[in-house]
Amino acid sequence: MAIGNWFVSVLLRSPVHRVMSGSVDLVRYQGHRSGRQITTPTQYATHDDGIVILVARHETKTWWKNFVEERDIDVLISGEWSPMVARAVVGADEPEVAAALMESYLHRFPKAKRIFGELGPEAAAKWSVLVLCRPR
């Protein structure tokens, strides 16, 4: 785990988690191939009764591929672990679903729009990967 991720993980598990808990969580899951327990911080937004995670630079990351099919995940938000199920939504494959998720994410993080430049939320969603987590 990179030093920055380690620091964020320690902070989110501590009594001062409120500093970041409104926008950053920890996700914990079992690696699909390795079987190892993996914990990593992500930035999340609420969506309906769950949360959505935008996988920034998804082409350089592999963690989201554990959720190509719906799988169990635990999410630490506000100092409390919640059992959830997660599924990766690839915008190119599910543009309507991705657009709705992107709308929730950009509503929470309007500055993230600059990542996509001239693209609107619907077009940006087509080039994105988002992970939808819902309560188990």
In the chain, where are the structural domains located? 3-135
pLDDT bin (cut points 50, 70, 90) of residue 19 is very low
Which residues make Cβ contacts (< 8 Å) with residue 52, sequence separation at least 6? 44, 45, 46, 101, 104, 105, 130, 131, 132, 133
CA-based max dimension of the chain? 41
Q: What is the pLDDT of residue 57?
A: 86
Q: What is the pLDDT of residue 3?
A: 57
Q: Is the CB of residue 59 less than 8 Å from the CB of residue 2? A: no
Per-residue pLDDT, averaged over 97-111, amounts to 92
Residue 54 corresponds to which amino acid? L
In 4-123, beta strands by DSSP E: 24-30, 37-47, 50-54, 71-77, 80-90
Q: What is the pLDDT of residue 28?
A: 96
| CB burial string 36-68: b at 16+ within 10 A, e below | eeeebbbebbebeebbbbbbeebeeeebbebbe
Q: What is the pLDDT of residue 122?
A: 76
pLDDT bin (cut points 50, 70, 90) of residue 78 is confident
Per-residue pLDDT, averaged over 9-17, amounts to 52
Instruction: Indicate the class that CATH gives domain 3-135.
Output: mainly beta
